[in-house]
Structures are given as structure tokens and as C-alpha cells.
Amino acid sequence: MFKKILIANRGEIACRVITTAKKMGIKTVAVYSDADKDARFVLLADEAVHIGAPPSRESYLVGDKIIAACKQTGAQALHPGYGFLSENAAFAKKVEEEGIVFIGPKHYSMAAMGDKIESKKLAGAAGVNCIPGVNSAIESPEKAVEIAKGIGYPVMIKASAGGGGKGLRVAYNDKEAFEGFTSCTNEARNSFGDDRVFVEKFVEEPRHIEIQLIGDSFGNVVYLNERECSIQRRHQKVIEEAPSPFISDATRKAMGEQAVQLAKAVKYQSAGTVEFVVGKDQSFYFLEMNTRLQVEHPVTECITGLDLVELMIRVAAGEALPLTQADVKRNGWAMECRINAEDPFRNFLPSTGRLVRFAPPKQTMEQGNTTDYFGVRVDTGVQDGGEIPMYYDSMIAKLIVHGTDRHDAIAKMREALNGFVIRGVSSNIPFQAALLAHPKFVSGDFNTGFIAENYAHGFKAEDVPHEDPSFMQALAAFVRRKSRERAAGISGQLPGYAVNAGSDYTVVTLGAEGANVYTPVHVDEFVGQTGSARVRVGERSYEICSNSRINDVCITGTVNGNAFTAQVERGTPKNPLALSVQHNGCRIDVLVISPRMAELHALMPFKAPPDMSRYVLSPMPGLLVNVAVQVGQKVQAGERIAVIEAMKMENVLFAAADGVVGKVLAAKGESLTVDQPIVEFA
């Protein structure tokens, strides 16, 4: 067994590999860029080597620097994680030639299956059912349009070296095919250093189901059941689960056996995933093979009781697989939510900056632990006070739960999301909560178009209806009463000026443009020692018990005998006196004040924000790649204004209306903040 391994990656996956290596008694080496010098994975590793500037093409994508770090530290093996160089056959070959063990498949297997064009040719030759398309690289956008017409719209334009939703566009007409080719080529070049793209038919209403497998150097390959990955947004997975609520045992067996057959054909050893598009009738088509560990591997670990990272390391060290196909278990139901640094209420634009608060829910399952299951696990590469840089992927953490069945897993996930505290950057937790509560998701009736169909006009606060809005108002009043009770108990108060906690309050739910709602609330039977009270909101009554402290953001307790987890925080960006209450993805900002204060508050005029309609504002933090207009230029609605790059994705800003450019306020290459003006119209 290896004594020391280097992890050629960063963030959450680097932390994940370090955890299993420590369990196995193996020393670890991290490599890091300037942006990651204080990152969690650097602190967890036994050694760390600096490899360059923040952009990945100057650090994590420079294979020579990583190999040099292996030699410098004496690392015998290298784990590539996922992304970056994990599926680069030339890099894997060079690592092997330098006498370092690559903890992954052999370079020839990777070359055959990691390249999406070559893998389709090989699969077709092996008689595997493939999706119609052109499996050779396309040299121009005009050619892409010509091929797309021949196949028939819609088509999918994909980067050959792509992954993680990067370098992928769906086109429904000639214009989208033309523009999609250009965007895919640019994204692929920036993310993978390989700008080849190809075109294939886009199967409508498909399921995206993948088979996890692992092989050793003795020719043994087993499949570890499937993962359902159909809940996707812009071709990036949002929620993954295992098993799939859709396929039958017969389909599972057929897909698994076909995946194994394909792996054996290329002498595959290590962990890998064969992805399939599955139709309504459970017919399935080979899509691609990911020759690496997947982001969503924890759900497979939960239902099988296996540590996939450990198996990868053991296979790379020359050991045989410790299990046969008959030994593979399927126990319970696992689910994973990807917690991303993005603002779901601003069209999921990236959100970067410092994590002012990062407090995940309590973990009851640990990474690499193959004994404790049916609980909650958090895989993350960040910590309280850490930074979310704009150079890399937007994922903050992966929240994994394991339940006895699918409904139990959904319930556990909703409660875990309620207790996940993230401040300083926006996260997609409200969106995840809305998905988990959607009737079609709960029933298992969905496909890869689920999010596009149900949130066609973006995601808004009203898309997260709370099943009992009065509870959130009651909780706000309970927390306020607790605070007043503490204030009343402080000694040394002047006679006649002591704080009166009171029982009658008005909860003012703060709405847009001053459209506030005033709700009378009565709090009685308050008992500070037990942290309990009865709260009446209209006709509804709530017995709330909670021992959470006043300054706790995460509030746990019971309401009418049922357990709850919610978040209550003092001060909002617009009002330092307000309380922000979050539960089941829903958020309200409220003032809890006396009835007399509420009467006076209702008389306050609304102060409208300044009119910014003449400006094109940066909707997110990022790098200004291009400004496409000049002073004095006439611009029509829908015309391209600027391009911003953040978290490896290009974001194009278009004019909302016709106008003439008065000023260009930001220059190419400038780092922008949220709502920073770029262009002003005359």
C-alpha cells in the first residue's frame, strides 16, 4: 500500500480523498493556487505545495507542476479527483511514465472512453445502442448548423472533453446552433484546454440514469447499482438519488451488465460511470463514460456500504476487488443536494465572496465510514470565514442523506436544509427546498426537463409556498418575546423605566415597495426556564418549545409536539431592526413590535429606490471579458452589451431596450462587483 499520495485537485473532493487516506494510514499532499492558500483542504493535508496563480490554466491544469510536486514530496501515487486533469489521458500517461501511480483508469482506457467522440465510436462498434449524431469534431459554426439540420432539431452541442455541464448547449433552431457552437468552443477551451465539439440528437423528456462500476487489474468488474440524475438545471445536476424511482430490476440489471461489458472491452480498472439516456418505455441509450470518480458518488456509498475512494486506492495499489456482483447491496434510499454559491432569485447567477457564517447541519454519517448510515453527511471544502473564489466551480458543499425509503430521505433532506446556515454569499438552498416539496418530484414523476418546465420563467420567492405561513410569524413573535424577557430581567433598570415584555405584538411582514402586512399576535404562558410559550396568530394556536439561545441563527424545537428546524436572524440588509425567518426554503422579513408602534409604522411613507433603468449593471461578481459597445453607438433591445466570466461560465448581458450608449463605465479585464454599472445610456 502507498505511504503517501498527492491529490491533484482542490475543494470538497480533495478533502474527501484526504479523509479516506487518513483512515487508511496514508500521508497526503495537497497542491494549491494563490486563491486557495488558506483553503480547508490545504489545512487538512499533511503537506501542501504551491503551484501557481488562481486561474486553473496556470495552476490546477498544469500537469508538469503537479508531477514536480509529486517528486518533490515523494508521493508514490496521485489521485486526480474530478474535473481539471482527471480525464486527461495524456496527463495520466505522463504520470505513469514518471513512475507515479495514477489512482484511476489506465491512460489507454481513459483515451478510449473519456473522449466523448471516441467512446461513441467504440460503443457503436461494440453494438451498444447510441443516440443519433455526428461523432467527429466540427470545425465551424456553419458546419454545426448544417449537421443540426440533417439530424433534426433539437440537437445537443457538446464539448468532446466536456463535463459538469461545461461546454454544452441545446439548440432548437439555426441561430441557437450557430451561437451554441461558439459558446461551447470558448467554454471548452477555457475549462479543459480542448475546444473540439460535436453534435447529437437531443432526446426529449429523457431520464438521465448512470451506472457506477469499479474494475481491478485482474479483469474483474462489478456494477454498484444506478443513480438517478434527471433533476438538472442547464445540464448540471442539482439533486441525485440512488436507487432510481423509475427503472425496474430488469432494466437495472440490463444497464449494469451492458456497462460492465463496455468496461471490460477497454480493460477498465478503477471507479467509473457509464451514463445512459432512458426513455419512457425504459429503453436506454449509451451517452458517455466518465472515467473518474463522480461528484454524486456518496449516494452510492450510502446504499452499498462501500467506500469508493478506498476501493480506487486499493485497486491502484494492485489489490483485487474484495467483492463480487452477488455481494453488492442495495440498502435504503440516498439523496444528495448540491449546495452552490449562486442566487436562485437572480437567475442563479454566481455569488462569490467571504462565508461570514458557514454552519452545516449536524453530521451523523462520516466520509469513508462504512458502518454508520441512515443519517446526514456533509461533504465540503469550505469552512466558516472561508472564501468562495470566482475562478472555480460554484459548489459550496454536498448535502447527503440516507433514509429507509424515498419519503424518509426527502423528509430528512428538507430538515437538513432547514438547518444549513450560509451567510455572506447567496446559495441555492431555497431552490432545493422548493424542488423537494414539488408534488411531481415527491411522486417520482420527472425527467431532465423538470426544472425547465416547472420554472420556465426563473425562480421567484412565490415559488416556495409555505404550508403554514402563520407558523413563521408565530416563531418570530416567540423569538422576540424571548429577547424582551431577557431585557426585562437585566438588573439596574431605573424605576418606572423597566422593560415590559408584554404579550400583545404586531408582526409586520415587510413586502416589496412598502406593501407590508400587519398581523396581531398574542404570546402567553411564556416559561423562560423551559423555553416554551403559546402563540396565537388569528385563529391558529402554536405551542412552541425551544431551548435555542437568543443569538442562535439555527432554531430547533417542537411546535404542537412536532420537531422543527428553522433559521431566525436579527437584521436584514434593508432594516437592521427586522427579523429574517427561514423555514422549508421560504423566507420572510418581519418587524415584531407593539400594536401602537405598528399604528405609527403604517403611517411611514415608502422611500423608492433610485431609478437605475438607464444603466446596464453587473448582475454578479466576475471578470469583465468583453464590452461590445462604444460611446455614441445605437443599441437595439436584445443586442449584446458585455460578457462576464465567473466560475468557469460565460454570462452575456443584453440590452433591455433600445437606446444610445452615453458612457462606458467599466473596462475589459476589470473585476466587477454585484450591481456595478458597466454602461450608461444617454
Residue 564 and residue 581: Cα distance in Å, rounded?
13
**CA dihedral for 399, 400, 403, 406, sign (positive or negative):** positive
180: enclosing H helix or E strand? helix 174-192
The 3-class secondary structure across 640-677, one letter per residue, is EEEEEEECCEEEEEECCCCEEEEEECCCCCCEECCCCE
Instruction: Give the HSE-up count for residue 528: Cα atoms under 13 Å, Cβ half-sphere.
Output: 12
Helix (H, G, I), strand (E, B) or coil at 450: helix
CB atoms within 10 A of CB 223: 23
Q: 549: which 3 cell numbers?
A: 439561545
Helix (H, G, I), strand (E, B) or coil at 352: coil
**CA dihedral for 628, 631, 635, 641, sign (positive or negative):** positive
Residue 476 and residue 581: Cα distance in Å, rounded?
7
Q: How many residues does the chain have?
A: 682
Q: What's the alpha-carbon Rg for the chain, to the nearest Å?
A: 27
Contacts of 65 (CB under 8 A, 6+ apart): 31, 51, 52, 59
Q: What are phi and psi of 490, to 5 degrees?
A: -70, 135
Beta strands in 468-516 (DSSP E): 504-509
Q: 622: which 3 cell numbers?
A: 466576475
Contacts of 42 (CB under 8 A, 6+ apart): 30, 32, 36, 48
Residue type for position 337 = C
With cell 442566487, the residue in question is 343
Residue 189 and residue 196: Cα distance in Å, rounded?
8
Q: What are phi and psi of 371, to 5 degrees?
A: -120, -40
Given 12, 187, 241, 288, which residue is catalytic? 288
Query: CB–CB of 581/472 below 8 Å?
Result: yes
CB atoms within 10 A of CB 599: 12
Q: Work out the angle between the directed axes of helices 107-114 and 89-97 (0-180°, nearest 10).
A: 180
| Whether the bond into 55 is cis, omega within 30 of 0 | no
Classify the phi-psi angles of 11: left when phi > 0, otherwise alpha if psi is within -120 to 50, otherwise beta: left
| Whether the bond into 573 is cis, omega within 30 of 0 | no
CA nearest neighbour of 212 among 177, 242, 251: 242
Query: What DSSP character marks residue 607?
Result: -
Question: Is 296 among the catalytic positions?
Answer: no
Query: CB–CB of 465/586 below 8 Å?
Result: yes
CA distances from 443 to 381, 388, 438, 534, 552 (A): 33, 35, 9, 36, 35
What residues act catalytically? 288
